[in-house]
């Protein structure tokens, strides 16, 4: 079931040489894969997206997705909008437009007006890929994960903390971001299906060059596309609904099987050896990106990497690592003690265990045991302190204990 409603966004009058006038209505921009389709197929994608998701000013709540749109509450204060169906989606949109769209864009594509000035670039939600979360690599982030990011921000980036908005408003933003991600992911997957059906401009030209009339080729392709479209849309959206629902399951969360090893000298030393791949059959290759001293200057930062799925294969013009969105990325400089995914030991554990989705940071779940990962975590947290102890000491070494005892006695 889909519920639609109209609620115009607040727009500022545009001043120009010709006088005052209203700016054009906000729209959801197309993905580049949709733009590559022939006009007939592109219009079909546009219709599916508008019918099922609406426009920024006229949102459509498709109830098959695990999103809290806000039910009708006739007893609520009308000024809070709880007296109308879909009020949560509207309120989430309004908060997103106020606090988020200038970086992440109206569509959630990471192309807001300030995005080109930022490094790293804002997240493109449409891919359905989120870098920092507690769930397994292939699982979507949970609501708790998104709340953690909004409350804490992302250190070392321009993503600030929005904790002062309060949990209720942040919850509205979270559901709208989830909705934007589902909307964008639906378009991308649908366009990929139409591309596979040869509904691109390039495919039509190629077929027409083989002696067929272009109009006949288009008609033949579109006939097949229209027949398969309803089933494809249902399959794509069904998969996305299940994927986002799975993120809330307890078994989707990465939970260590053992408690954290105290950050003793022995544990930190073990972690250092894992970091440097000095232990047989425990090759992590951490230094290839982070460097031997953890400064983010490993040899992989000087290579020219091939662009994934490029045909024929091409390499990036800029040396170094790149993320899934094609932007250059620098491995973390561990000596600074700034961890974008969070500085809690459990945050580092999950990064090491699962890697970081959307990046070339791989997980070591098949290489290291949970106990060994804790040793590596202890080492990573010790790097800014020159190996003396971790940022979260659970047990001081004997030498430090002795110093503390002497200091206490002298006092």
Of residues 86 and 346, the one with the higher pLDDT is: 346
pLDDT range class, residue 263, cuts 50, 70, 90: very high
Q: What is the mean pLDDT of the chain?
A: 88
Type and span of the H or E element at 84: none
% of the chain with per-residue pLDDT over 70? 85
The pLDDT tens digits of the residues spanning 354-368 come to 999 999 999 999 999
pLDDT at 398 over 50: no
Ranking 80-84, 196-200, 255-259, 390-394 by mean pLDDT, the lowest is 390-394
- How many CB atoms sit inside 10 A of residue 10's CB? 7
Ranking 163-167, 213-217, 378-382, 393-397 by mean pLDDT, the lowest is 393-397
- How many CB atoms sit inside 10 A of residue 2's CB? 12
Report how far residue 366's alpha carbon sits from residue 354's, in angstroms, rounded to the nearest whole number.
Answer: 10
What mean pLDDT comes out for the span 287-295? 95
- Give residue 255's pLDDT: 97
Ranking 132-146, 321-335, 383-397 by mean pLDDT, the lowest is 383-397
Report how far residue 85's alpha carbon sits from residue 37's, in angstroms, rounded to the nearest whole number.
Answer: 35
Q: Is 155 left (phi over 0), alpha (psi -120 to 50) or beta?
A: beta
- Give residue 12's pLDDT: 37
> Cis omega (within 30 of 0) on the bond before 147?
no
What mean pLDDT comes out for the span 61-90? 76
pLDDT at 402 over 60: no
pTM, two decimals, is: 0.85
Report how far residue 259's alpha carbon sits from residue 227's, in angstroms, rounded to the nearest whole number.
Answer: 55
Of the segments 15-24, 137-146, 395-404, which one has the largest average pLDDT value?
A: 137-146
- Give residue 13's pLDDT: 37
List the beta strands (DSSP E) in 64-219: none
- Give residue 29's pLDDT: 94
What mean pLDDT comes out for the span 294-299? 95
What mean pLDDT comes out for the span 266-280? 95
The pLDDT tens digits of the residues spanning 8-25 come to 343 433 444 444 566 778
CB 357, CB 131: distance < 8 Å: yes
Helix axes 39-53, 214-246, angle to 10 degrees: 30
What mean pLDDT comes out for the span 234-262? 97
What is the DSSP track for 108-151? SSS--TTGGG-SSPPP-GGG---SS-SB-TTSPPPHHHHHHHHH
Ranking 69-78, 140-149, 334-343, 363-372 by mean pLDDT, the lowest is 69-78
The burial of 132, by beta-carbon neighbours within 10 Å (0-12 exposed, 13-18 middle, 19 or more buried), is given as buried
300-337 burial code (b ≥16 CB/10 A, e <16): bbeeeeeeeeeeeeeebeeebbbbebeebbebbbbbee
The burial of 265, by beta-carbon neighbours within 10 Å (0-12 exposed, 13-18 middle, 19 or more buried), is given as middle
pLDDT at 116 over 80: yes
CB 188, CB 160: distance < 8 Å: no
pLDDT at 316 over 70: yes
- Give residue 397's pLDDT: 46
């Amino acid at each position: 079931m889909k519920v639609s409603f109209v609620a115009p966004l607040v727009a500022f009058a545009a001043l120009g040489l010709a006088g005052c006038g209203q700016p054009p209505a906000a729209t959801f921009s197309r993905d580049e894969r949709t733009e590559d389709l022939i006009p007939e197929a592109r219009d079909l994608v546009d219709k599916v997206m508008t019918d099922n998701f609406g426009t920024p000013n006229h949102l459509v709540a498709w109830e098959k997705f695990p999103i809290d749109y806000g039910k009708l509450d006739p007893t609520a204060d009308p000024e809070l909008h709880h007296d109308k169906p879909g009020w949560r989606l509207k309120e989430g949109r309004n908060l997103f437009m106020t606090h988020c769209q200038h970086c992440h864009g109206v569509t959630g594509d990471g192309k807001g007006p300030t995005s080109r000035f930022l490094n790293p670039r804002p997240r493109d939600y449409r891919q359905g890929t989120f870098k920092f979360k507690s769930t397994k690599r292939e699982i979507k982030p949970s609501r708790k994960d998104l709340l953690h990011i909004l409350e804490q921000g992302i250190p070392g980036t321009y993503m600030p903390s929005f904790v002062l908005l309060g949990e209720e408003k942040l919850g509205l933003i979270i559901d709208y971001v989830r909705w934007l991600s589902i909307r964008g992911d639906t378009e991308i997957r649908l366009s990929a299906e139409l591309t596979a059906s040869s509904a691109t401009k390039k495919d039509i030209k190629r077929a027409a060059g083989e002696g067929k009339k272009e109009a006949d080729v288009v008609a033949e392709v579109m006939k097949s596309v229209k027949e398969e479209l309803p089933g494809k849309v249902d399959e794509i959206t069904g998969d996305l609904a299940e994927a986002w629902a799975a993120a809330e399951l307890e078994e989707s969360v990465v939970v260590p099987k053992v408690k954290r090893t105290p950050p003793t000298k022995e544990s930190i030393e073990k972690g250092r050896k894992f970091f440097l791949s000095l232990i047989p059959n425990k090759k992590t290759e951490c230094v290839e990106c982070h460097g031997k001293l953890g400064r983010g200057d490993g040899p992989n930062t000087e290579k020219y990497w091939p662009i994934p799925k490029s045909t024929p294969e091409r390499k990036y013009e800029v040396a170094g690592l790149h993320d899934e969105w094609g932007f250059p990325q620098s491995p973390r400089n561990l000596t600074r003690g700034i961890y974008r995914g969070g500085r809690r030991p459990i945050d580092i554990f999950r990064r090491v265990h699962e890697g970081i989705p959307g990046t070339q940071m791989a997980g070591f779940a098949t290489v290291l045991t949970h106990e060994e990962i804790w040793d590596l975590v202890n080492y990573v947290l010790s790097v800014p302190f020159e190996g003396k102890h971790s940022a979260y000491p659970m047990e001081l070494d004997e030498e430090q204990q002795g110093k503390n005892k002497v200091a206490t006695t002298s006092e």
